């Protein structure tokens, strides 16, 4: 017996619907493209994390001349390689943490540990930490950490405390590299503008 054409199509459609239904749970995989962060820009160009203010970060910065896009990670908002005349490349990172981020001294002591220095209390920082004014109505704590026993280990750090988060800028290099990068590091920090 031959079924009419319309009935055949309806029957085939019903079979497809039932074939696609199942009581068994299944795992489905999807591929979604991710918008990449912008590469380092030339000096004088304001960079907003994620490519624009629509990314929800309440600040911008200017990339110093010569700095190049560095290795990114999930923690870093920005990462730059800082070429130095010593032949080395400084590693710069910009990280935002919510709340008080564990406290200023805890973070400074974490940095100290990264270059082989022992933890200290506030009084032990001496002249290695001071408040710095950006000239734009912002202030940050500027930290210079040098391991006197290892001239290959130094950190320039800046801590911007905001009401809801803390922004950390850090450049790791040798002592000579940190001394050379001091001016461009401060230029970066002074360019940070909070909205």
Fold of 66-194: Protein Transport Mog1p; Chain A (3.40.1000)
Residue range 120-144, pLDDT digits in tens = 888 888 888 999 888 888 899 999 9
pLDDT at 160 over 50: yes
pLDDT at 146 over 90: yes
Residue extents of the structural domains in the chain: 66-194
Query: Global pTM?
Result: 0.70
Please name every residue paired with 172 in a beta bridge, in sequence order, or none if there are none.
Answer: 91, 155
pLDDT at 84 over 60: yes
CA 107/CA 33 separation, integer angstroms = 34
> Average pLDDT, whole number, for the chain?
77
| Residues 6+ positions from 70 with CB-CB distance below 8 Å | 40, 79, 80, 81, 91, 92, 93
Give the three-class secondary structure for 170: strand
| Residues 6+ positions from 104 with CB-CB distance below 8 Å | 141, 159, 161
Chain mean position to CA 143: 19
Residue range 26-83, pLDDT digits in tens = 444 434 334 444 444 334 344 434 333 335 678 889 999 999 999 888 889 899 999 9
DSSP-H helix ranges across the chain: 5-20, 104-114, 175-191
């Amino acid at each position: 017996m031959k079924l009419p054409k319309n009935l055949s199509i309806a029957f085939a459609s019903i079979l497809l619907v039932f074939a696609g239904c199942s009581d068994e749970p299944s795992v489905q995989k999807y591929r979604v493209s991710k918008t990449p962060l912008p590469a380092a820009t030339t000096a004088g160009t304001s960079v907003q994390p994620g490519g624009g203010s629509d990314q929800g970060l309440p600040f911008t910065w200017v990339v110093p001349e010569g700095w190049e896009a560095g290795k990114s990670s999930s923690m870093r908002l920005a990462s730059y390689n800082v070429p130095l005349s010593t032949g080395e490349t400084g590693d710069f990172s910009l990280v935002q943490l919510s709340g008080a981020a564990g406290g200023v001294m805890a973070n400074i002591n974490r940095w100290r540990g990264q270059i082989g220095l022992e933890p200290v209390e506030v009084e032990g920082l001496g002249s290695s930490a001071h408040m710095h004014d950006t000239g734009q109505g912002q202030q940050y704590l500027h930290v210079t950490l040098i391991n006197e026993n290892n001239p290959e280990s130094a950190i320039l750090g800046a801590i911007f405390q905001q009401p809801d988060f803390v922004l950390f800028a850090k450049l790791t290099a040798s002592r000579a590299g940190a001394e050379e990068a001091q001016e461009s590091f401060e230029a970066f920090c002074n360019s940070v503008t909070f909205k």
